[in-house]
Amino acid sequence: MLLFWAQCYKEPVFELTVVVKNQDLDPVEDVSIKIVAADIDSEDLSQIPGANLLDIDGEELVCKTDGSGACQFSFENKAFLTILACFNGDSGDPMCAEAFIYLEEDESHTRELLLVDSDKNEYGCEYCDD
């Protein structure tokens, strides 16, 4: 008896969970998260202008964190990404965080960001105005 086992090709999936915390390490709700492409050939990993990335469902890569401070994204391709987090607290002064991540095939990644005041952030939260 001859038995053949055929395996269907499965598209790779790249999962990313972003968790945002405050300086007391508590999760922060309603933080705006935006994912943009990073130029790996630049000296400072600057954003690629006009690189409109979409998730696996064709949606823009923007999200508001939930009660646990988390946003989740799914991708079809490998990518080196910039994660931008912006929050306008009760004081009206923006708080922000920025991180970079390389997504690898069929791996789930979690990236934690710590919000800091705009005057303590190297970029002054300038990207929060977009």
pLDDT the model gives residue 15: 82
pLDDT the model gives residue 127: 75
Going residue by residue through the chain, which has 130 residues, state the pLDDT in tens, using 9 for 90 and above: 555 555 665 565 678 899 999 989 999 999 999 888 665 555 655 555 545 555 555 567 788 999 999 998 877 767 778 898 999 877 677 888 988 888 777 678 899 999 987 777 666 677 777 6
Q: Identify the DSSP state of 126.
A: G
**Is the distance from CB of 69 to CB of 114 less than 8 angstroms?**
no
> For 9-48, where are the alpha helices, taking DSSP H only?
none
10: CB partners within 8 A, 6+ apart = none
pLDDT the model gives residue 42: 58
Residue-level length of the chain: 130
pTM listed for this prediction = 0.74
> All domains of the chain, ordered by start, with CATH?
18-129 (2.60.40.1120)
Euclidean distance between CA atoms 120 and 130, whole angstroms: 19
Euclidean distance between CA atoms 47 and 81, whole angstroms: 9
pLDDT the model gives residue 94: 82
**Is the distance from CB of 89 to CB of 96 less than 8 angstroms?**
no
User: By C-alpha distance, which of 11, 27, 40, 17 is closest to 106?
Assistant: 11
